[in-house]
Structure 1
Amino acid sequence: MSSSSDAASPLPARTPGLPTRVPQPRQGGRHRRPDSHELPEAAKPLILAVPGPASEALAALVGEVALLARADLTGLDIRPIVIEADNTDLAAIMRGASAAVVVPLLLGPDPVAAAHTDAVLAATEGEFTRTGVLGPHPFLAEVLHERLSEAGLARADRARLFSVATAAEGIVLVTTGGPEA
């Protein structure tokens, strides 16, 4: 120990200055920003259009899809419709709206269904924007593999590893239905 007067001086004290910076809590994971479900004031109604012959089962299925979409997009006017060959009353579905966005509920392109949907839209008064079909999605491929594994046609343990980016051999079947399917 030293007996000098320098040794007895205390350590420098921190003087109050700028406030301590506290980081904002963030969501972890790949998508840090939550999805924005805010709709503009003038959002057009959304028509979920399913081409095909009307049946109670098909109407119930389209209604269920609309119900799920309404739960996620509260405040959006969602109107399901089955577009039949000769009997589609789109004007009744529109109920006073002058414009709408029409989403064909198809898994892949179908030129016949697209042409028929366009004909129904052209015959109805109003401004319509028809979107493309839903298209291929990794969830659809996963569900297909799950159904094949339930039927014993595929290994069940591969279902959780299946994605579009996975380099795996396999067969994906797509059909529009009908007697040839």
Structure 2
Amino acid sequence: MKHTISVLVEDEAGVLTRIAGLFARRGFNIESLAVGPAEQMEISRITMVVNGDDRTIEQLIKQLYKLINVLKVQDVTTIPCVERELMLIKVNATTSNRAEVIELVHVFRARVVDISEDTLTVEVVGDPGKMVAIIQMLNKFGIREIARTGKIALVRESGVNTEYLKSLEAKV
């Protein structure tokens, strides 16, 4: 199962290397990694997506806490969260299909950020499922390049589980 791990660390040289080394020594592949400043000065938030069962992830979290400069570790996989990812995708768009590509981009609430004679570069922001869906839809036009950030996530203070709400809407 894929787990989303949020780690608060002191913003110092070598912290990310130590965390990546811990994962590598245990044979874990980090599927997604995003690092950036957190809410306090000199603190960074690292958001990682890794594969593993609950017991293995629990052990990994204990090991993370042993590392210097690690302040807080949280598995947010089953906690209601706001999750986002950013993707830039360059797709073939000739004069004959450009209108269709742009219409599809608008359906996904994405936006065109660059245009050339035969391509469009599109910026997509949303949950990881949205990324997969737009890639599938744009594949028929021919995708030239993709650049994606890692997933970022913050716990919903409201506690509202939007996945649960989506499942209720699907039943209606």
The answer to whether TM tops 0.5 is no
Q: TM-score, normalised by structure 2?
A: 0.30
Larger strand fraction of residues = 2
Q: TM-score, normalised by structure 1?
A: 0.29
Higher relative contact order by CA 8 Å / sep ≥ 6: 1 or 2? 2
